[in-house]
Structure 1
Amino acid sequence: MATETTRPDAPATGVLDRFFGITRHGSTRSREVRAGVTTFLTMSYIVFVNPQILSEAIDVPNSFVQLLTVTCLAAMIGTLLMGLVARYPFAQAPGMGLNAFFTYTVVLGMGVPWQTALGAVFISGVLFVVLTVVGARTAIVRAIPLNLKLAITAGIGMFLAFLGLSNAGLVVLDEATLVTMGDLTAPSAWVALFGLVLSAVLMTLRVRGAILWGILAASALAIVTRADVYAGGAEGTMQAFPGFTDGLVAMPVWPGGLFGQLDIAGALGLGVLSVIFTFFFVDFFDSTGTLTGLAHRTGYLDERGDMPRVRRTYSMDGLATSVGAVLGTSTTTTYVESASGIGEGGRTGLTATVTGVLFGLAMFLWPLASAVPGAATAPALILVGAMMMTGVKDIDWDDMSEALPAFLTVVAMPLTFSIANGVSLGIIGYCLVKALSGRGREVHPVLYVVGALLLARYVFLGA
């Protein structure tokens, strides 16, 4: 199904155009580069957040600096695989949530050595690739009905918006009401609101690079006004931009204490099998849901909800996980923040290639990335979330057997803060409602198997 911007018969101009199909997909080189920069800026927080989380579980000399290098390497390799091999504008990096599970549940909670936990991550990535090669993963994705796929896209939009509102301090925790409105006079809130309004106005005026300009303008405002929106203050508080105290260039430290330290044999022990399954389960449905939503947003899904080169794409996703484990980080996965670059018009692998190169440069120029606070990238997440909601209009809301599973998928993602939970509840609900209402034949047999496994996972393994 060609999108309104696709030009399948357009002649290619140049090597890059022929390789990535830039003109054919209705894009331009400058737009792809701009989209890649936007994706990197939106994801740049992971360069610092991932080392902060994993360093609590991994005890090696200069752990933070080594983990920062590993994070950049894993993101660079995973994103380049997606851009150069799969040729999609999707970026990969060590996943949030999975790094917390690795640190606080597996290593600190269960007492599993971090080397063994890395082995479990590696095995889960191998399982990804094997299931993709034999066609099982593609069969599962094809078994998911179109209404659920549309709901997945919208749910990811809700998830992105909630994440952006939280990063901006516009939505905060409340003991009485669970969440509530944040302090609009707080620095993070007004910096984010400035970026949000500016980006929305520029998008309304159809200014190219609106989201990127909004990020840069909000970052500049935070620096000039000395707003306390940067991490690193005393006792975990926020601080004003500290400046480039070590210059703009900082040499990375080779992760000798992490590279190749994974313990695969230990991970295959009976007591760690549940850990492998959990890593695999969460990443499988998280990345599958993310890839499906992003593919729909870029217009790559056909009438059946399939996307081209699906096996290659899923294989690169699994391979990135295993490579990241060898380097010394938790599960590498496709990022929903890729939608920010897609929102800038990125449609080909050149977008991801640019993002991957920037992650490589971040190992040397990471002080520059530190100038972009979370409050400045929050508007991008909110705006892209709004754009990803358009598919809900095509969901069959008059048929409750379709509407309820779709609704559960959309609301569960932000409310449980998990794309995987949203996909899982949608599939389970779809199978149950169809079967119990006498319309069980409308469900693909593969989806019944998946639904049963998901239900068993919640019953026997908990969250």
Structure 2
Amino acid sequence: MSRASDLPVSPPVSALDRYFEITKTGSNIRQEIRAGITTFLTMSYILFVNPQVLSSAIKIDNAFVQILMTTAIAAAFGSLVMGLIARYPFAQAPGMGLNAFFAYTVVLTQGIAWQTALGAVFISGVLFVVLSVVGARQAIVKAIPLSLKFAITAGIGAFLAFLGLKNAGIVVTNPATFVAMGRLVDPTVWVALIGLIISAVLLKRKVTGAILYGILITTVIAIISRAPVYAGGPKGALQAFPGFEGKILGIFATPIWPSGLVGQLDIGGAVGLGLISVVFTFFFVDFFDATGTLTGLAQRSGFLDANGDMPRARRTFAMDGLAAMFGAFMGSSTTTAYVESASGIGAGGRTGLTAVTVGVLFLLSMFIWPLAAAIPAAATAPALILVGAMMMEGVIHVDWEDMSEALPSFLTIILMPLTFSIANGVSLGVISYCLVKGLSGEARKVSPILYGVAALLIIRYIWLAEG
């Protein structure tokens, strides 16, 4: 008869582990933190890109630095609430694409005050939260068939890979063929290719944290080789790593409070009849962009159940809307879920601790943001390409013999990178799915909710065409 002392003793589980269910997901604290660092490094470019875009429309004193601070705060808040409340490894930050729409279309072209445009972003965030709380967003996601959910995952992978190839200079614009191969002798290209091979070998050899180590090794190569892969050179040219001269102790910079942006949104002006289309565009584009991104990331992480549903979906979507509201209050364009979160997921991130790590790093970046400038796009591009390749595995679950499943799935995948929009891929996939199913005698296999969504999407595209 065995004594109690002879029985195996389970290792103690910390409160942190219990809250995030880290052990339950097969992960560990070190792996979650490493995944968060990987995600942060992959998306930290937004700290510098967002100010470049928005400062063209927001004219205040020291605009670039103030917007950088606002970007860091909005990203930190969005990632923290997603990690602490929704408990998913999905980071959030001001979204690319919507920031360009905010600056170049709404403010500079339509002549709408940037404060009023921020009000429109805030209202769209309120709509996100309301629809999430009442379950509308979850109902729409549930109505999307499994084939399209897997296609969304693969499409995001294609989009990530295309973004990585573009950032690396491997794919460039061409007036005759739209896109073409970049020059392999360009520093950004060969640094990125070396990083891609290094990261792939580390992954093949199953090195823990391979993607993160790939980013760091590639950065060291860029710095040591003095390759001109960093922005900030004369007349917009790339330059070698400029170092940390002029900063406190070399790497620290004193943060400033973005007083010219915080609380400047004009909600009253945004509710005016003339801005309905602006609010609608902010809402609609980010709705399908964020919904598609969150669904794809959930599938990639293995969170979807047997029916393709995401646990805690209502809470997760509400946090996405709350982040958009907070970001607008702080003075930034729409804050949303980031597809680059897939890099951290690829590095093993499975719980909200990954997103919390990203949030903390964005807060720290307000003090040591010069360090973020040490990571060039050539170093993060390989991570995007590799994660994109890994996310393509979802295509094996699509029934390619059934054209009513194959065509919508294909359009979903191919249109994301070709239109540079996750929202367009999801939209055209849903529309084509409903049309092909409905016209081929399988109308009853489609959820009525999905038909309603397809109708709204068609109306939106007609509206945009007429506008």
TM-score range normalised by the length of the shorter chain: over 0.9
Counterpart in the other structure of 1:239? 239
Aligned amino acid, residue 461 of structure 1: L
Counterpart in the other structure of 1:94? 94
Cα distance, 1:437 vs structure 2: 1.2
Counterpart in the other structure of 1:176? 176
Q: Is the Cα contact below 8 Å between 1:12 and 1:24 reproduced in 2? A: no
**1:261-286 deviation digits (Å, cap 9, x = unpaired):** 00001000111110000000010000
**1:320-364 deviation digits (Å, cap 9, x = unpaired):** 000000000000000000000000000000111111000000000
Backbone CA RMSD of aligned residues = 0.9
Counterpart in the other structure of 2:280? 277
Quick one: distance in 2 between partners of 1:174 and 1:221?
29
Matched residue SS, 2:104? helix
Quick one: distance in 2 between partners of 1:180 and 1:448?
38
Matches within 5 A, 1:371-390: 371-390=374-393
Matches within 5 A, 1:108-127: 108-127=108-127
Rg (Cα) greater in structure: 2
Counterpart in the other structure of 1:257? 260
Matched residue SS, 1:108? helix
Matches within 5 A, 1:277-296: 277-296=280-299
Counterpart in the other structure of 1:362? 365
Matched residue SS, 2:173? strand
Quick one: distance in 2 between partners of 1:146 and 1:199?
31
Counterpart in the other structure of 2:5? none
Cα distance, 1:11 vs structure 2: 7.5
Quick one: distance in 2 between partners of 1:259 and 1:11?
47
Quick one: distance in 2 between partners of 1:252 and 1:305?
44
Matches within 5 A, 1:298-313: 298-313=301-316
Counterpart in the other structure of 1:85? 85
Cα distance, 1:24 vs structure 2: 0.2
Unaligned 5+ runs, structure 1: 1-9
Quick one: distance in 2 between partners of 1:393 and 1:370?
39
Counterpart in the other structure of 1:6? none
Counterpart in the other structure of 2:210? 210
**Is residue 224 of structure 2 the alignment partner of residue 221 of structure 1?**
no
2:396 to 393, 396, 399: 393
Aligned amino acid, residue 390 of structure 1: E
Quick one: distance in 2 between partners of 1:235 and 1:396?
51
Matched residue SS, 1:24? helix
Quick one: distance in 2 between partners of 1:221 and 1:41?
16
Aligned amino acid, residue 452 of structure 1: A
Question: What TM-score comes out, normalization by structure 2 length?
Answer: 0.96
**1:280-322 deviation digits (Å, cap 9, x = unpaired):** 0010000000000000011000111111110000000000000
**1:56-76 deviation digits (Å, cap 9, x = unpaired):** 000111000100000000000
Give identity over the alignment, percent: 69
In the superposition, relative to structure 1, how do residues 12 and 410 fare at CA in structure 2: closer, same or farther (>3 Å)?
Answer: farther
Counterpart in the other structure of 1:346? 349
Matched residue SS, 2:93? strand
Q: Is the Cα contact below 8 Å between 1:404 and 1:429 reproduced in 2? A: yes
Matches within 5 A, 1:28-39: 28-39=28-39
Quick one: distance in 2 between partners of 1:205 and 1:137?
40
Unaligned 5+ runs, structure 2: 1-9
Aligned length: 454
Q: Is the Cα contact below 8 Å between 1:155 and 1:411 reproduced in 2? A: yes
Q: Is the Cα contact below 8 Å between 1:12 and 1:23 reproduced in 2? A: no
Matched residue SS, 1:179? strand
1:437 to 435, 440, 444: 440
1:315 to 303, 314, 318: 318
Aligned amino acid, residue 289 of structure 1: G
Which consecutive segments of 4 or more residues in structure 1 shift more than 4 A?
none
